[in-house]
Amino acid sequence: MMENSVHYIELSKNLIRFDAVSQLTNVFFDDSNKQIFAVRSGGTTGVVVKGPSEDKIISFCMNDRGPIRSIKFSPNNQILAVQRRENSVEFICFQGDQPSLQNIIVHQVKALVYGFVWVHNRECALISNAGVEIFTIITEKNQVKSLKSMSMSIKWFAWCSESNIAILSTTDSNHTLMPILIKQKSITKLPKLELSNPNREVQESKVTLGQIYGIMAVLILQAASDSGMIEVEVYLLNGPGLAPRKSHVLRLGLVGCFAINTLDNLIVVHHQASATSLVFDIALSGEVINEVTYHKPITTPRNIRPFALKLPSLSPDDSTNWVLFQPNIVIDAKLGCMWYLNLDIEAFCTLISDRIRLTEFLLQRESGKPVLLKVLKQLVQDQYNGSLLPVLETIFNKVNKIYASWVQTELQNQTAQPSNVKTTAKSAAPPKVLIEQLDMYSHVFQPIAGKPQCETILLLYLQSLEKHNVAAQEELSKLLITELIRNQNYETLRRLVSYSLIMESKTIACFLLSHSNEAPVITQVALDMLSKIKANDIIIEVLLGQSKVVDALRLAKHTTTLDDMSISARKFLEAALKTGDDMIFYSVFKFFQMRNLKQHGSMDFLKTEQCAEFVQHYNNMETKE
């Protein structure tokens, strides 16, 4: 793949088409419900609402009561809020998909209304230059009722629907922004956001709100004081009671007009002049100055992958008409198209040459798992050379750190409550990318089985598991055993079993025994493992198979009571007879005679034990003497 043809951002293939803006049609977008409104002739000839997907369509007509400034549905699409004037909002109730136009509720205030947001199906928050007010729409009485209000002089506001937080710029301070949490019947002031440059007023157009790694972030475009280049200052609202602080700065290295999206916890900054996009990940390391991390783009700026519409006369390539909404929406009102921005994760594999940094990046992406497994497969297969071992070791440790944490969490969840106690507590969400041993075995290690590097790589991975206190599982243990035996590395095999670094189970021990014909030491290693897990029944069978009947009988005596009839006389006598050693047979036969005497007062064997042939053999031995 040629690097110049690589694009890491693309428009969604399933776009939403709507009536393009014209002299008769106005277009509005509600970033909370992700709905786009095409309003023809003020609504008299039709309003078509689409989103968040192409198949979600609401179509209706309404009276033209003046130019529309903003239009939004309630979350359940049953009340339509329309702002036509600077000091009022009207509400139209719906029955199904059609409006009830005879009862329009108008809420008028003595202030300049900047906008409104829906808090619940019947609750709306109005933000004006005089403050914030939450009110409920009582459709049955055709009126509104104020529930909560907060007075302050506001210059502008920005809204994040994902976190229900508004950022207010107030007239009493140019160097602070006021975050407020708006929920049903409540307005909560959060700690103020202190701007890094108190002498520079922040404009509304320079502020973007979004959720990054589950934390509310305020992104502010600012010119760097030293170079004049534009930077993005990232303020994180870390939690209740904690003041927002500037935690990160994104160095764009460019000047001009910019727009910002957040996509899969990445910050995507679009540069209008060059028609390129820069991608930043605040989870990656950067240069730390005064507790602020400065980041460069993950890779060089790229334009969005070209996209062709079915109508040849129309082209979306003219991005100057695009308007961006959070978190990842692109609207071209002149073209009548709405897209979602998508990330092409695999493109970063070509653009990020540092495999460790690429791993860190992929571990944070929603669809990073298959891509990371593919990268690992390439590293151990086609791209492998001895110098990559330190890189692989670091990658294994990063992968297994997450894996070990998940294993520990799962164990705690399983042991936190007694089995007879019902709990409604939800288990923790798995990490974005969880690569377990079976994933590594199936996708990475199995394809290189039998190759010269396989043993070394498996031992490296096993070492990483041990470092993170994760026990090796069956498939991985079997593959490693196979490689060690193939390479005749028996001493390493013995040490792994001695230090319990591979799985200890009857299955693994039997797997070892199945290779015992290749070297005597393998049998001993298997016996060592069986002894550690106290699998004496299998050890006895192995000893009998090796004609070590007396040793097997001695072990059986230690693991059962002397008068326990569970010790099969026939099995031991048969093994003793096969040795061809009369002394061994005599000793074993005498042992069982004494057992019989203690068990039922006679040296004779019970008929059910089927030992007649061995009694005959013993009698023949006595006769010969």
On average, the pLDDT of the chain sits at 88
Taking the C-alpha atoms of residue 339 and residue 327, their distance in angstroms, rounded to an integer, is 12
Going by their DSSP bridges, the two strands 292-295 and 245-251 should be labelled as parallel
Residue type, 492: T
Taking the C-alpha atoms of residue 319 and residue 224, their distance in angstroms, rounded to an integer, is 26
Average pLDDT over residues 609-620: 84
pLDDT of residue 416: 59
pLDDT of residue 1: 44
pLDDT of residue 418: 60
251: tokens are 């160095």
The string of pLDDT tens digits covering residues 238-288 is 877 678 889 999 999 999 999 999 999 999 999 999 989 999 999 999 999
Split at pLDDT 50, 70, 90, the class of 573 is confident
The string of pLDDT tens digits covering residues 513-558 is 889 888 989 988 988 888 888 877 787 777 877 778 887 888 777 7
Split at pLDDT 50, 70, 90, the class of 562 is very low
pLDDT of residue 168: 95
Average pLDDT over residues 8-22: 92
Average pLDDT over residues 324-353: 92
Buried b (16+ CB within 10 A) or exposed e, 330-365: bbbbebbbbbbbbbbbbbbbeebeebeebbbbbbbb
Judged against a pLDDT cut of 60, whether residue 356 lies above it is answered with yes
What are the φ/ψ torsions at residue 56 (nearest 5 degrees)?
-90, 100
Judged against a pLDDT cut of 90, whether residue 362 lies above it is answered with yes
DSSP percent split of the chain into helix, strand, coil, nearest 5: 35, 30, 35
Judged against a pLDDT cut of 60, whether residue 423 lies above it is answered with no
- Looking at the DSSP assignment, which residues form a beta bridge with residue 330? 324, 339
Judged against a pLDDT cut of 80, whether residue 199 lies above it is answered with no
pLDDT of residue 422: 53
Winning range, highest mean pLDDT, from 169-173, 359-363, 566-570: 359-363
| E strand map for 109-198 | 113-118, 123-128, 131-138, 143-151, 154-160, 165-170, 176-183, 186-189, 193-194
Judged against a pLDDT cut of 90, whether residue 485 lies above it is answered with yes
- CA 602 vs CA 574, 588, 599, 605, 617: distances in Å: 21, 17, 8, 8, 19
Judged against a pLDDT cut of 50, whether residue 176 lies above it is answered with yes
Q: Smallest Cα–Cα separation from 548: which of 515, 524, 514, 517? A: 524
Split at pLDDT 50, 70, 90, the class of 309 is low
Q: Smallest Cα–Cα separation from 610: which of 575, 582, 578, 569? A: 569
pLDDT of residue 560: 66
Q: What 3-state DSSP class applies to 118?
A: strand
Judged against a pLDDT cut of 90, whether residue 151 lies above it is answered with yes
Q: Rounded to the nearest 5 degrees, what angle is found at the Cα of 528, between the Cα atoms of 397 and 531?
A: 110
Taking the C-alpha atoms of residue 612 and residue 350, their distance in angstroms, rounded to an integer, is 77
Taking the C-alpha atoms of residue 506 and residue 504, their distance in angstroms, rounded to an integer, is 7
pLDDT of residue 90: 94
Taking the C-alpha atoms of residue 424 and residue 510, their distance in angstroms, rounded to an integer, is 42
Average pLDDT over residues 352-370: 95
